[in-house]
Structure 1
Amino acid sequence: MVDIREVPEADIDRALELAYLVFHDRPEKEGRERHHDMLRHCVRIGAYEEDAIVGFMAAHDFRLSVPGADLPCPGLTFVSVTPTHRRRGVLTALMGEMMRRAGAAGSPIAALWASESAIYGRFGYGSATQGATIEIDSTRPLALRIDPDRRPLRLVDPGDAVAVVGPYHEAARATRAGRPTRTAWRWTEEWLPEEDEEDEELGPPRIIVLGDPGEPIAGYVLYRTKAESSETGAGSVRTPGLVQVYELEADTPAVAAALWECLASLDLTGKVSAWGRPADDPLLHFAADRDQVRVTAVFPALWLRLVDVAAALTGRSWAAPVELVLELTDVRVPANAGLFRLKAGPAGAAYEPADGQAPDLTLDVRELAACYLGGTRAVELVAAALVVEHTPGAAATLDAGLRTELLPHTADEF
């Protein structure tokens, strides 16, 4: 008999051992200590069989930027079930308890990054944002179609980075949906550790900001570098190094152009690689040579769950008038299922039962979650036969209301 209950602090190391088993990981002492410290600040749910932990799940206490608002949103992490207890309802029980707690705490949404995409759709999570990997050939100057901002660039000591770029990042969160809050701990331990946990050959974090002295910064970039080498029959031969970009934020395209130009001009490097960039990154338009600036991968990033659909829909802003009857299915949270009339617009939104009325759209909560931040269009889901459109134009109407100026995006993996 499996018992679902809170994991006390004394059991954190045992829960981590389960996670390391499932994810085939074996961190060094420093990594283990960082994970332990992180989980101390998370909600922790375990599946116990007698005294053994056979399943585990934790949740960060985040707020997530949504169009026009900032909503409480637990960020699920370290989701793991021991190999001996798979397909026995352990993950379902953990998910159910976490959603119950989220609802009780007044969190209308929940989020995660999926290690395996096939798992989480059945729990009502939809892929709500995309990330792109962009590579720049920096063996030659970066060709641009616009003039970069020529205000001064300066390096910031990593120890001062939270104070300098933290407020800028917090303000930038409001410009794009899908971005979780960052505590000082997350800045220090997740974004600015001396060593990169996944690639020990990368150097320490570097931060460059743009702006006149004494004035607020207009943008920043966080990156690391490494010198690469290749083996030949004659021995080791040095090759141009790598600039690995973690985050770049800018007030204007001209500021972004200045930062990208600076990265591409770093001595002894030949490639700039930026993982998890927004799919609508302005660089892809103002780069003069798209053979020099290439998108090498596009992937699902943040997965979103609407725990309380009514609170989620009425808690965000709407770009255009919408009045539709939605027939919603949700096998995990029955209170979300049924016929509902959505009436929304720039002045606000209402979402109420519409029993007996004919639906304009029929969809599952997973598809509504994918569309919620404005990153997935309902018309595309109709074309994929995942949403049924009973009233012509209903999907386009929903899309117009959900539309955002910028695509939702985050590189905050957790």
Structure 2
Amino acid sequence: MDIRAVPEAHIDRALELAYLVFHHRPDEARRKHYAQLMLDCERIGAYDGDVLVGFAAAFRFTLSVPGGELPCPGLTFVCVAPTHRRRGVLTAMLRELFARCTGQGAPVTALWASEDVIYGRFGFGTATQGLTLEVDSRRPLALRVEPDERPLRLVDPADAPALLGPYYERTRAERAGRIARGASWWADEWLVEEDEDDDELSPPRVVVLGDPVAGYAVYRTKGEDEDAHRPGLVRVDDLEADGPREAAALWRYLASIDLTGLVRAWGVPLDEPLLRFAGDRDQVRITSCFPALRLRLVDVAAALTARSWAAEADLVLEVRDAHVPANAGRFRLLASPGGATYGPTDAAADLVLDVRDLGECYLGGSEVGALVAAGVVEERTKGAARALDEALRTPRLPHTVDAF
């Protein structure tokens, strides 16, 4: 196999390979959309002679991390021709991606939830999780907090990126795991007229609280189906609010839309305040919990020293990494709220863990202690896991709803 960049002239070939592998038959509009996306991506191909037999693309994302943000290529459209499976094609393409990350100063890379059995062995750990919530809106939503009474207004989706973009960027900085959204990402991913998965849903609706913006929700609706005994649906795609009273105002609005009886919100954070301020938890149900963003630390030293720390920690980590040798070995982590250093050492290890485990805990969404209890991280010094957890802790759990 020859691993090299996929030129613009081969984008259609790369996408046809993806459609073959994923059994996908997009319409012409979606084909043009995917081709446009690929123009702005890193593109890696595996060629057998002149035949493209493997493809991987990476969005040029910027990801919020505790205390700041980092460039973070977002892996997508990964595929290998069925004639060339189990020949090391995926391994070669991912190693090329890791090398590009190193060369471009991107210490982390990510992908949206996929097969853990595949990507876990390449060092990707589940860094964020999401919930699907359902609200029975056939009766008024019971609340334990007084909703913010500032006016709500519906805005034209065409005007939403300019209005919501600055607000989203501000709130993005308050929670790790979120990608920066440009105007094209808003328009092409969040505010597309027709939903790709359900053509019965309405176009996107955007409701905004307050002026200046104190919260917003992007949602779609579907009418009642009497034959199927299905109530009208409000599907919430994205909701942000300054605080619980602002969130309560938005949830109350969504649960009171006429001719609907169910609110379904996909991908909400594990610490969603509705779960606490709902007056009747029988009215608000969690229907699923799923892995979302999987994170890979390509340069462990750069990643650890780039984030902020909540407490002091002086620990020796023995890191295993089968694909990026520079990450493997024993390293001393000296962390404090003022910053961190990380470098090689001959001292005995306090914790032994895989780079995948570091990726899972890096944003503050998983506890090292839980991984010790599960037997996948070895604690050689009593209390080491607790010390690292205290240092990694963040005020809010990491979260993203931007699937890619």
The TM-score normalised by the length of structure 1 is 0.96
User: How far off is 1:117 after superposition?
Assistant: 2.0
1:352 aligns to what?
343
TM-fit CA distance, 1:230: 4.5
Asked if 2 retains the 8 angstrom alpha-carbon contact of 1:339 and 1:353, the reply is: yes
Distance 1:392 1:116 in 2: 34
- Residue 40 of structure 2 corresponds to 41
Report 1:96-111 matches (<5 A): 96-111=95-110
Choose from 366, 378, 382 the match for 2:372. 382
Indicate the residue corresponding to 1:247 in structure 2: 238
Query: Aligned partners of 1:395, 1:146: CA distance in 2, in Å?
Result: 37
Question: CA offsets, 1:106-147, max 9 Å, x none?
Answer: 000000013322110000000000000000001110000110
Q: What residue is the counterpart of 2:251 in the other structure? A: 260
Cα distance in structure 1, aligned partners of 2:127 and 2:2:
32
Structure 1 residue aligned with 2:351: 361
CA contact (8 A) 2:127 2:365 kept: yes
Q: Which amino acid is 2:56 matched to? A: M
Partner of 2:329: 338
Q: Tell me by how many angstroms 1:251 deviates.
A: 0.3
77-86 or 401-410, which deviates more: 77-86
**How far has the Cα of 1:181 moved from its partner?**
1.0
Partner of 2:362: 372
Q: 1 CA distance for matches of 2:113 and 2:403?
A: 10
Aligned to 1:179: 178
Equivalent residue number for residue 135 of structure 2? 136
Segments of 5+ residues of structure 1 without an aligned counterpart are none
Which amino acid is the alignment partner of residue 311 of structure 1? Answer: A
Q: Does 1:223 align with 2:219?
A: yes
Aligned to 2:70: 71
Q: Do structure 1's residue 275 and structure 2's residue 274 form an aligned pair? A: no
- What is the DSSP-based 3-state SS (H/G/I as helix, E as strand, rest coil) of the residue aligned with 1:231? coil
How far 1:60 moved relative to its partner?
0.5
Look up the equivalent residue of 1:169 and give its one-letter code.
Answer: Y
Give the match's secondary structure for 1:379.
Answer: helix
Moved over 3 A (4+): none
Partner of 2:309: 318
Aligned-pair identity (%): 64
* 1:198 partnered with 2:212: no
- Using the alignment, how far apart are the partners of 1:221 and 1:186 within structure 2? 16
| Cα separation, 2, equivalents of 1:14 and 1:190 | 23
How many angstroms apart in 1 are the aligned matches of 2:114 and 2:358?
22
Q: Report the counterpart of residue 17 of structure 1 in structure 2.
A: 16
Offset at 1:42?
0.4
Instruction: Give SS of 2:231's match.
Output: strand
Per-residue Cα deviation, 1:376-406 (whole angstroms, up to 9, x for no partner): 1000000011000000010000000000010
* Residue identity in the other structure for 1:366: R
The normalised TM-score by structure 2 is: 0.99
Structure 2 SS opposite 1:146 = coil
Say whether the 8 Å CA contact 1:114–1:120 is kept in structure 2. Answer: no
Looking at structure 2, the residues matched to 290 and 132 of structure 1 have their Cα atoms a distance apart, in angstroms, of: 15
Partner SS for 1:229: coil
Secondary structure of 1:407's aligned partner? coil
How many residues align? The count is 404
CA distance in 2, matches of 1:115, 1:70: 24
Following superposition, the deviation at residue 344 of structure 1 comes to 0.5
Q: Secondary structure at the match of 2:163?
A: helix
Deviations 1:325-361 (A, max 9, x none): 0011101000000010000010100001112x11100
User: How far off is 1:313 after superposition?
Assistant: 0.2
Q: Is the 8 A contact 2:5 2:45 kept in 1?
A: yes
1:170 and 1:295 mapped to 2: Cα distance? 28
Cα offsets for 1:295-320 (capped at 9, x unmatched): 10000000000000000000000000
State the alpha-carbon separation in 1 of the partners of residues 213 and 333 from structure 2. Answer: 41
1:307 aligned to 274, 290, 298, which one?
298
Instruction: State the shift of 1:231 in Å.
Output: 3.0
- Structure 2: where are the runs of 5+ without partners? none
- Which deviates more, 248-257 or 220-229? 220-229
Question: In 2, distance between residues paired with 1:130 and 1:385?
Answer: 21
